[in-house]
A and B are shown apart, each in its own frame.
Chain A
Amino acid sequence: MHIVVPIKLAPDLVEDLEIDAGGAALDRTFLRLIINEFDDHAIEQAFLLKERGGGQVTIVAPDLEGADDVLYTAAAKGADRLIKLIGDFSAGVNCHALARTLAKVIGDLHPDLVLTGVQAHDDLDGAVGPLLAEHLGMPYLGYVAGLTVSDGKCMARKEYPGGLVAEMDVALPAVFGIQAAEKPPRYVVTSLITQAMKSATIEEIETGEFDSGGAAAVERMSRLEATTHAEMIEGSTDQVADKLVAVLRERGLLAPRG
């Protein structure tokens, strides 16, 4: 069984985020990148599967600050292959371009399972997984919080709002968007990472030009404005309903009474 985990590096929210002079992107001068949290769960889920059923885990990361760190840490946890995508990721790459690029690389790896974070906290698109599955011609299941593999078949647990859980059989190979691993991402002692930095090899694969077609373009980025207070609407149920309707009309959210 070959499990491939493509990961994304997203802005670390420990540092203050600034919008650049163009007004449609983050200022990357002081930006620090960190592994997307859902991808960290995807990595953990891959190791849990490997522990239970054997197999090979390959981690794929874009060539950005922090990529080596993520890859060596994964090696210390037991990853078998580390791949770094060499290309110009510095200005950010949209999910369509990323999915196309990943599809080319991952297709050649002939995976049984591809685990990605269900979304990343920088765009909240949640589109890399489904797009990647489409390019690879594989089924996709997102918001997965547990996987069991046996005899070439996979049972995925998917959590719904309201405490509902579905268990679904999925034919492999398939792509899964991981919402949470069955256990929190594991700790790996520093000495093992130091060792991995000496012994593990990172393979480099050139991405070529990115094809960003199909994606929505960001026109403007702005900070959320903190409002000073919330207005409490008081009165009987009818009075509250009337006031609410009036407020919605006033803001143009309901058609005027016609």
Chain B
Amino acid sequence: MTTTPTVERPFYDRVMEAVPSGEKLKLCLQCGMCSGICPYGFAMNFPPQSLIAAVRAGDLDPVFESETVWLCVSCFACANVCPAQIPLTSGLMASLKTEMLLRRKVPAELQTALENTRRYGNTLGESPRKRSAWCQSITPAIPLMAQTKEPVDVLWFVGDYASYHPRAVLASQAMARIFQALGIRFGILGPEENSDGDVQYLAGERGLLEILAQKNGKVLRKYKYQEIVTTDPHAYNVIKHEYPGVGVSVPIKHYTQFLAERIEQIKPLLRHEHKAAVTYHDPCAIGRANKNNIFEEPRLVLSAIPGLELVEMAHNRATSICCGGGGGGNWLDGFAWQQTHTRMSEWRIQEALASGAQTLAVACPYEAPRFEDALKSLGAENKLVVKDIAELLADAMSA
């Protein structure tokens, strides 16, 4: 007598419930496009298509045995090409990561980043009281919303990396100078701001996202502002698409959108040339993720800089190659190296070098540190300069 294997209901149900359109899993055609486009599909025991096959067959033990789901960097490439529009990144892969967290199979470095978020409200494990330390050197001083009683034009949601990481804060300081040059009345939340929760939830920690969204929602509701602008693509993605599900609906713009809207006001302020070929790396989170499609605004801003020649990498816009930092990937470099002996950030640098560019422009706080590390590990430090769009713009504006 043969017994029909039964689908392990709890996991199946969790996948279905993880996102509003989770039941779409049933529509999978097994076409394999998702696994084919996945940058680490070659090294995963269960890339999306095989994972769905295993879920349908109820053969989940080998899935939970394998830890290669931690190679998933939540780049949304699979979800973006799926003809059945299954939410593969935020639904399927994130649910499997939750399952792995429940089974306590989580690489140590990622565990630390999650614990840091829970305790300190940021992945880096820094003091929440020092969240605005990056802007102490700036004059005129950047107001904290808690101190300004006046409504502002822009409430700037700075984000974790842009607040604390020694390389990333340089871009934040540049952005502050741009706001000031444009005469924008703006403020930041400082110690009241918490991690946005994007990478944590895509790493399987939906419960953490809910707590963070509620905390951020509470402070965002306290203040008066025309709009919220963020320098973090992950904050943009999660606030736009996941916060409403937790009861926090606030409008949000990425800073490249904000700048593109004011490009005519900006152009006369650009005094210095940037005489170089520049290529732009599309961050997944404002690009193909949830079809955010912020592709042209960053290019419009870059093209306004005198002397700058924009060149494209082979993979650009919706086909951009991930820097490897999303969905917890930023804390899984060691794991990915062990499994694949490759670094995604190096692939991207090689593409940037092949494009003939001398400057790699970025628009996400994870990227400058990641790409600069990749340049070092490739021994190519002298061949390419990595700059945030805000840095390039602020340099062009400088007196």
Contact = CB atoms under 8 A, between A and B. Distances in A.
Interface in A122-160: none
A217 interface: no
Contacts of A190: 118, 205, 207-208, 210-211
B101 A189 contact: yes
Interface residues of A, number: 14
Main secondary structure of the interface of A (DSSP, over half): loop
Given A190-B207, A191-B207, A14 B127 contact: yes
B399 interface: no
Contacts of A15: 127, 129
A192 B104 CA distance: 13
B209 to A, nearest CB: 9
Interface residues of B, number: 23
B125 A189 contact: no
B314 interface: no
Contacts of A189: 98, 101-102, 204-205, 207
A163 interface: no
Nearest to A191: B207
Nearest to A195: B207
B129 A30 contact: yes
A89 B79 CA distance: 53
Interface string A11-30: 00011100000000000001
A73 to B, nearest CB: 9
Nearest to B114: A187
A190 B195 CA distance: 15
A159 B206 CA distance: 40
Contacts of A187: 101, 104, 106, 111, 114-115
Given A184-B108, A187-B114, A14 B125 contact: yes
Contact of A186 (B104, B118, B205): B104
Interface string A186-227: 110111111000000000000000000000000000000000
B225 interface: no
Contacts of B118: 190
Nearest to A14: B127
A192 B119 CA distance: 16
Contacts of A194: 207, 211
B223 interface: no
A257 B204 CA distance: 70
Interface in B122-138: 125-127, 129
Interface string A161-204: 00000000000000000000000101101111110000000000
B120 interface: yes
Nearest to A190: B207
Contacts of B129: 15, 30
Nearest to B205: A190
| Most B Cβ at <10 Å: residue of A14, A34, A184, A187 | A187
A34 to B, nearest CB: 8
Interface string B208-232: 1011000000000000000000000
Contacts of A191: 206-207
Contacts of A184: 108
A190 B114 CA distance: 10
A64 to B, nearest CB: 15
| Most B Cβ at <10 Å: residue of A15, A190, A192, A193 | A190
A189 B209 CA distance: 11
Contacts of B127: 14-16
| Most A Cβ at <10 Å: residue of B106, B111, B127, B206 | B127
A194 B210 CA distance: 11
B318 to A, nearest CB: 32
Contacts of A16: 127
A14 B120 contact: yes
| Most A Cβ at <10 Å: residue of B98, B101, B206, B210 | B101
Contacts of A186: 104
A189 B118 CA distance: 10
Contacts of B207: 189-194
A191 B120 CA distance: 18
Contacts of A192: 102, 207
Interface in B66-115: 98, 101-102, 104, 106, 108, 111, 114-115
Contacts of B115: 187
A187 B104 CA distance: 6
A194 B118 CA distance: 12
A187 B125 CA distance: 16
A41 to B, nearest CB: 14
Given A187-B114, A189-B102, A14 B126 contact: yes
A186 B210 CA distance: 21
Nearest to A187: B111
B159 to A, nearest CB: 19
13 contacts: A15-B127, A15-B129, A186-B104, A187-B101, A187-B104, A187-B111, A189-B98, A189-B205, A190-B207, A191-B206, A191-B207, A192-B102, A193-B207
Interface of B: 98, 101-102, 104, 106, 108, 111, 114-115, 118-120, 125-127, 129, 204-208, 210-211
Given A14-B126, A187-B101, A187-B104, 5 more contacts: A15-B129, A187-B115, A189-B101, A189-B204, A194-B211
Give 3 nearest A-B pairs by CB, closest first.
A190-B207, A191-B207, A190-B208
